[in-house]
Structure 1
Amino acid sequence: MASMLALVGLFLLTPRISRAGAQSIGVCYGLNGNDLPSTQDVINLYNEKGIAKMRIYAPFPQVLNALRGSNIELIVDVANEDIEPLASDASAAAHWVQDNILRYSPDVQFKYIAVGNEVLPNFDNAKYILPAMENLQNAIIAAGLQDQIKVSTATYTALLAVSSPPSQGSFGNDSKLFMKPIINFLVQNNAPLLVNIYPYFGYIGDPANIGLEYALFTSPGIVVQDGLLGYQNLFDAMLDAHYTALEREEGGNTVEIVVSETGWPSEGSSASSVENAGTYYKNLINHVKGGSGTPRRPGKAIETYLFAMFDENEKTGDETEKHFGLFTPNKQPKYAVSFT
C-alpha cells in the first residue's frame, strides 16, 4: 500500500475528459466497501473526469437517483439471486421494469440490462436466464423503450471450451446448449452480448506460455500468428475467441460484443502492482477507443467498461479482488489514465 500511495502523485488522471472522445469507455461502480465516497460524490467524480458510461450490479435506488440528469449511460444488472422470480412471473418482470427503469427514465440514460453476471450452465439459476431476459424484453417493449434499452447477459471466458488460437474459439457442449437460445434472443432483438474479458487472469493462469508484455499491450510485435491474423495483445485474442464462438452458432456472426468488465489489480499477487495496472489501463483505453478494433473485427472502437471505479475492501475471494480500483476510496486517482 505504501508503494501505491507513493506513486499516486505520478499517476494522475486528466482533470477533464472530453465526452466526445470517451464514448467507448465506461467504468463499473461497485459498492462492496465500507469506506467509499457518498453516491453523489461518485456521480460528481464521473462527471468531473468525463466518464460517460457506468455499470452497476443491481438497481440501487441511491445510485439511480444520483444519476438523474447526469447523461451517464448505464448498464444495470439483475443480480444473480433475483433472476428466478423474473423468469417465473411476467408480472414480476413488468414490476421490475416499472420500479427500476420507468421510475427513473428519461432522467437516467439506461442502455443495457444485464440479466445475471458470469452464470455458468451448471449453476442452479442458469435455466432462468433466458426466460427472465424474455420477460424483461416484453416489459421493455410494452414501455416503448426497445430501441433505447437492450436486454442481455454478462458472461466470461469460462464458457469457452477452446480459446486459443482465437480462430478455434468455441463453446463447450454444455455452454453451447446454454448459449444457443440466448444468441437467438440477441439476434432477434439486435442486442449485444456482454462479456467480461480479463487478460490478467489469462496471464496468471498460464504464465509459462503467456508473456506479461502480451497481457499488458506492450509486446513490440506479433506474438500469436493465427492464419492470416496476427495478435499483439491478449485482450484482442480473448475477445476474438468469443467472436469465433458466436460465429459458429446460427446468426451469431451478427452479434456485437460489449466488454462489460476488464481490469488489472494493483496489489495481491506477484503480477499485481501499480505499475502493471497503470500500464494495462492506459494501453487498454488507447486501444479500445482508437478505432482499430480487433484482427477479426477491425475498424471500430470497442465499447468497454473498466473494472472498477474504487478499491472495495469488502470484496470476498482473493486479496486482489479488493484492489481493482481506478481510484482509492478518498477519490484519488491511482494511475496516469487519460480518456482524451
Structure 2
Amino acid sequence: MSTIMLLLVGILLLAATGAQSVGVCYGNNGDNLPNAQDAVNLYKSNGIGKIRIYYPDEGILQALKGSNIEVILGVSNDNLQALNDAGAATDWVNKYVKAYSQDVKFKYIAVGNEVEPNDPKAQYVLPAIQNIQNAISSANLQGQIKVSHAIKTSLVANSYPPNDGVFSDSASSFIKPIVNFLVSNGAPLLANIYPYFSYKDNQQSITLNYALFTQQGTNEVGYQNLFDAILDALYAALEKAGGSNVNVVVSESGWPSEGGVATSIENAGTYYKNLIDHVKGGTPKRPNGPIETYLFAMFDENLKIGDETEKHFGVFRPDKTPKYQLNFN
C-alpha cells in the first residue's frame, strides 16, 4: 500500500472514531470553574469531540475557534419569546452562528431546553424554532446545522413496556407540531435521558443494576438496561406521533456522585463508563448505532439550584482533575 493510501486510511479511521466519540455538556454555573480557554483545552486533551453549550457565551465560542469540536448551541428558555420575532432570530443567528461559522463547527441549535407543555413559554418554542431555521437557511448554513428542541422524557406516558410509549395527552399538542417540523427538515429530536432520576423515583420496581448497565441478562420484555428502555419508549412515542424517521440525539445523560439516593463516586463512575461503552451500539428497537450522546456534565457546578445532586454531575472537578477514569473516544 502506498504512503498516500496509508495516510488516507489513517485519516478515515480518525474520522470514524471521532464520529463515535461521546460529547460532554459544558455548564458554567459555578464560581470556581476554569476559564473558557482552559475548559476547551481540557476537551481537546481528553479527545472529547462534541460539546453542548446552553447559551451563546462569546468567551466559549472564541475558545472553540479552530478546535474542530462539534457544537450544540442552545437558545435559553428566557430568550424564546424574543425570537418569535423573525428579525430578532436573524440577528441572533448572524451574531452567534454566522459570525463564528467559519471557525466553529456548529452541528445543532437547541431552541429551548426541557420546556414543560404547561409552561407559558411553551407557546414560543415552535415559532422560535421556525424563525431560527429560516435564519440558518438565509445564512446558507442549513446543510451544516440542524435546529431542534431538547425535551425531558417525562413527556412520554406508558413507557413500560417500551413499545407502549406514547406522548402524554398533556404533551401531545406541544410536541407533535415540533415532530412535524423535525420530519420536514430531517432534524433529530434532542432528549435528556436520566436513568438516575427514574431509579430514584421508582426504587420499588427498578433495580440499581438495571440503571447502571450492570444487570446480567434481559428482563421479561427483552431489556438489559434502563437507558435503552427509556430511549425506545421515546422512539415508540415518536412513531405514534408521525416521526418514525426522526432520530434521537441524547443531549444529556449523567449520574451524580453525591447528594442523594445511590450517589457515590463508584456508582457514577460505573454509569459514565458503561454509558460511553454502550452507546457505541444501538437499542433493541434501533439496533444500528452509535447513539450520539452527550454526558452531563463537564464540571461540578456549585451554584446550581435545586436538589444537592444538581451540583455533583461533573466528570471533572473544578480544578480540572478527572473524577473518574474515562476514555471518551
TM-score greater than 0.5 by the shorter chain: yes
Query: CA–CA distance in 1 between the matches of 2:97 and 2:279?
Result: 29
Residue 279 of structure 2 corresponds to residue 288 of structure 1: yes
The aligned counterpart of 2:63 is: 66
Residue of structure 1 in register with 2:8 after alignment: none
Residue number in structure 1 paired with 2:111: 115
CA distance in 1, matches of 2:328, 2:174: 36
Determine the structure 1 residue equivalent to 2:187.
191
User: How far apart, CA to CA, are the structure 2 residues paired with 1:127 and 1:318?
Assistant: 28
Cα deviation for residue 103 of structure 1 reads 1.1
Letter in structure 2 aligned against 1:185: F
TM-superposition CA deviations, 1:101-160 (whole Å, max 9, x none)? 011112000000001000011001101100000001000111111110000000011111
User: Could you tell me how far 1:300 is from its partner in structure 2?
Assistant: 1.4
After TM superposition, where is structure 1 displaced by more than 6 Å over at least 4 residues in a row? Answer: none
Classify 1:22/1:206 alpha carbon distance in 2 versus 1 (closer, same or farther; 3 Å): farther
1:274 aligns with 2:265: yes
Note the aligned Cα RMSD (angstroms).
1.0
CA contact (8 A) 1:22 1:339 kept: no
The amino acid that maps onto 1:263 is G
Q: For structure 1, list consecutive stretches of 5 or more residues without a partner in the other structure.
A: 1-17
Letter of the structure 1 residue corresponding to residue 223 of structure 2: Y
Higher RCO (Cα < 8 Å, 6 or more apart): 1
Corresponding residue for residue 167 of structure 2 = 171
CA contact (8 A) 1:112 1:152 kept: yes
Correspondent of 1:300 among 289, 293, 296? 289
Match of 1:79 in 2: 76
Deviation at 1:299, TM superposition (A): 1.9
Match of 1:246 in 2: 238
Q: Which residue of 2 aligns with 1:316?
A: 305
The match for 1:150 is: 146
Percent sequence identity over matched residues? Answer: 60
Whole-Å Cα distance in 2 between the matches of residues 171 and 265 of structure 1?
Answer: 27
Question: 1:108 is aligned with what amino acid?
Answer: V
Aligned partner of 1:134 in structure 2 is 130
Partner of 1:45: 42
Against the structure 1 CA distance between its residues 22 and 202, is the aligned structure 2 distance closer, same or farther, given a 3 Å change threshold?
farther
Q: How far apart are 1:161 and its partner, in Å? A: 2.0
Which residue number in structure 2 is paired with residue 96 of structure 1?
Answer: 92
Q: CA deviation at 1:174?
A: 2.1
Instruction: Give 2:215's aligned residue.
Output: 219
**1:331/1:19 Cα in 2 relative to 1: closer, same or farther (>3 Å)?**
farther
Deviations 1:76-123 (CA, angstroms, capped at 9, x unpaired): 110000000101x10000000001101111200000000100001100
Which residue among 312, 325, 329 is the counterpart of 2:314?
325
**2-structure distance, mates of 1:339, 1:91:** 40
Counterpart for residue 9 of structure 1: none
Match of 2:120 in 1: 124
3-state SS in 1 of match to 2:149: strand
State the AA in 2 paired with 1:264.
W
Confirm or deny: 8 A CA contact 1:68 1:108 kept in the other structure.
yes
- 1-structure distance, mates of 2:15, 2:208: 31
Match for 2:23 among 1, 21, 26? Answer: 26
Which shows bigger deviation, 23-32 or 304-313?
23-32
Task: Quote the Cα distance in structure 2 between the aligned partners of 1:270 and 1:234.
Answer: 17
Cα distance, 1:269 vs structure 2 = 1.1
Which letter maps to 1:112? Answer: Y
Greater alpha carbon shift after TM alignment, 93-102 vs 160-169: 160-169
For 2:149 and 2:253, the matched residues in 1 are separated by 16
CA contact (8 A) 1:19 1:52 kept: no
Q: Aligned partners of 2:278, 2:17: CA distance in 1, in Å?
A: 13
CA distance in 2, matches of 1:119, 1:41: 31
For the residue of structure 1 that corresponds to 2:173, the secondary structure is helix
Three-state SS of the structure 1 residue aligned to 2:228 is: helix
For the residue of structure 2 that corresponds to 1:58, the secondary structure is coil
Instruction: Report Cα offsets for 1:241-287 as digits up to 9, x if no partner.
Output: 0000000012x100000000000000001310000000000000000
Structure 2 partner of 1:11:
none
**Structure 1 match to 2:9:** none
